Chain A
Amino acid sequence: MIRLLKPLIGIVAVAAVVTLARRRATERAPEPSPRREVHVPRASGAFDLDGELTEPAWRVAPVAQLAGRPYSEVRFTWSGDALHVGLYASDRNIVSAGVGGDGPVWRGDSFHLVFAKDGVERSFDVGPSAHGAVLTDGERRSKGAWSYAWSSGARVALDMDEGTADHPEDADEEWVVELEIPLAALGLAPGQRVDFSARRCDVDVRGGKPVESPCPAIELALVLDP
């Protein structure tokens, strides 16, 4: 009798596991929350792409603090045919990924930005190096695999205030990135909205786990004010 019941017990147990796992997964899945809408103002005047956010337009650009530590923030403005993104990263020890553009920038200190519109996501991973900013841009459609063959045509600049990449023996303060992305690369036009997420991963050692893992992300909806 017990021999006959054994397979049945096994089937019931597996079914219970699947049911419980699914229920648990359902319990864990958070309700999608409405994204905070950020209106991106149109800037007048020229931008000097130098990694220093000193142009007057940056003074009135909306700022969002990123979650987690060390302190990081992102700000936005747009002009002409480009979206300007300012990234600030407080950092006691600046660590580069040791790679060039379109390499795995995320092996060092880096920001990971994703713009999503019409089922297409475009990512911008940017980090510091001793020779300036390093950018890896990618695209994926319908949550498929990322393609890093895609090129956005974005321009990027870095400023390290009192900082030196890959010199742990000295005390760094911060690194700042100025990123200029063609609106066309985002499929974006004035008046339109694009979903945006950002996170900053700070590492103490190249290729090491971030200080906060997983690096917390913020999600926004950007609206380009005409």
Chain B
Amino acid sequence: MRARRWLAVAALGLGCTQAGDASDGGADAGVDATSNACQPCVIDSDCAGGACAQLGGDSYCASSCATSADCPSGEQCTSVASVSGDQVSVCVDVASAQCGLGPQEPADGGQCPGWADPATSASCKSCSQGSNGCQPNGCYGGWWCNTSTNKCQAAPPQNCGSAPSDAGPPQVFDGGITATIDADGGTESHLYFAVVGDTRPANEDDTTNYPTSIIGGIFADLAKVSPPPPFVVSTGDYQFSDPFGSQAAAQLSKYLGARGAYGGVQFPAMGNHECTGATASNCGSGNTNGVTNNYSAFMSQLLGPLQKTTPYYVIHVAAPDASWTAKFVFIAANAWDATQSAWLGTALAEQTTYTFVIRHEPASANTAPGVTPSEAIMKSYPYTLAIVGHSHEYYHSSGSREVVVGNGGAPISTNQNYGYALVEQLTNGDIQVDMYDYATNAKDSKFEFEVSP
């Protein structure tokens, strides 16, 4: 019904009169409100006396008014929401598709003329096709594309389908899996595991606001994936604690509690927040920052149950018939010393079908003491995939053998969502990596990639 009204208005041909290309018009632009009507804005101050109003699925300047007599011909004084959420009365060309009252809406559900859902190819330009997280419609993060304006909008228009719902954890493959995994690895009928990463709170010693619910949600999902991954590797930063304060143990206790829903084995990598918090910090006996409380808590609470005595270690996983073998090499770039350097060379020299290197910092975070030296050693040996975190996002560049999985509960730094990665061996021997949203359990189809052993 509302669509019919909209079409009736549009049929009168009252188009929006676009002002000039003054998209940079801010408070200092010195133009009156009428002259920058229909200009994109962020804040009221962009509109020089007018209001920055939510129009046409985006935000545009509009002139304030008391009645329609205050408005130019063809415009109506209309109550709309400002970007601040206030109700404001502004002059609106109700027929404008660009900055009118809103998008054209369908009379019934199922179709959504003028809009492209995230999976539909469209011409929005919020991101570049092929870039991380960029949907076929040219938007990020589940947003819809208004094809008349080529702008992205967070929520789909009314009656245009609903937001993705939680379909439950995914069924990754049929037939189940047979696995025996302990603190040193074990056997799997099929190489298959999960990756989670970066779970610290936003502020130091903020144990009260530890992201327990997100971490718990992720591990609860992993317990329900079909089949559940027999083990999980994690990319570090389980805490944000004063290195000589009292909160490290408390935060790691919260982590272990949140992990409780998952029955498999977790193999953790050490992050910079398990040292002092600085990326450049270097912990461990004899190193610059020594043995901090954060380091001690990590060693005792997360690695103690695995009986690891150093923050760097290797585990082995193989097929029961040894038709393939894999090693997982955990590097501690914030506890780097000559001993670890020598160990890494030896560990990587071992011949296996697959080699996974797990380290907190990506290669680009080269202020961490062990990043550049370990990268140099890694160059001497073939490896399947380097699994890292540090950045609170997930990311993989085509052709790269490094994947960032840092969206485990630490404050997300992009417009992605929290979640978990599943890594699976394909029948041709390649390795496939997928990312799942912890709230919807939806797979990010744009992220999926494969690497050869």
Contacts and interface: CB of A to CB of B under 8 A. Distances in A.
Do A and B associate with each other?
A: yes
B434 interface: no
Given A104-B27, A176-B203, A71 B411 contact: yes
Interface string A190-213: 000000010101000001011111
Nearest to B418: A71
Interface stretch (A19-27, A40-48, A181-189): A19-27
A142 B68 CA distance: 20
B392 A173 contact: yes
B103 to A, nearest CB: 12
Interface size classification for chain B: 35 or more
Nearest to B76: A21
A211 B140 contact: yes
Interface string B126-168: 1000000000000011000000000110100000000000000
Interface string B44-72: 11100100101000110000000010000
B84 A30 contact: no
Given A162-B279, A173-B392, A145 B78 contact: no
* Chain B interface, >50% SS class: loop
B261 interface: no
Nearest to B86: A143
B94 interface: yes
B12 interface: yes
A148 B12 CA distance: 42
Nearest to A70: B413
A92 B391 CA distance: 7
A104 B26 contact: yes
A141 to B, nearest CB: 14
A59 interface: yes
Interface string B352-393: 000000000010110000000000000000000000001111
B204 interface: yes
A115 B27 CA distance: 20
Contacts of A173: 391-392, 413
Interface in B392-415: 392-393, 411-415
B65 to A, nearest CB: 12
Interface stretch (A10-18, A77-85, A150-158): A10-18
B84 A212 contact: no
B345 to A, nearest CB: 27
B183 interface: no
Contact of B85 (A16, A107, A197): A197
A215 B41 CA distance: 11
Nearest to A197: B84
Contacts of B413: 70-71, 90-92, 172-174
Contact of A21 (B101, B154, B415, B417): B101
Interface of B: 2, 5-6, 8-9, 12, 14, 24, 26-28, 40, 42-46, 49, 52, 54, 58-59, 68, 76, 78-81, 83-88, 92, 94, 101-102, 126, 140-141, 151-152, 154, 202-206, 208-209, 242, 278-279, 362, 364-365, 390-393, 411-417
21 contacts: A16-B8, A23-B5, A24-B6, A28-B102, A32-B87, A52-B204, A58-B206, A71-B202, A71-B413, A88-B203, A88-B411, A103-B28, A112-B43, A114-B84, A146-B27, A173-B413, A174-B202, A176-B203, A199-B83, A207-B24, A209-B40
Given A16-B8, A103-B28, A106-B43, 14 more contacts: A23-B5, A24-B101, A32-B87, A54-B242, A58-B203, A71-B392, A90-B411, A92-B413, A104-B26, A125-B43, A148-B45, A171-B391, A199-B84, A212-B415
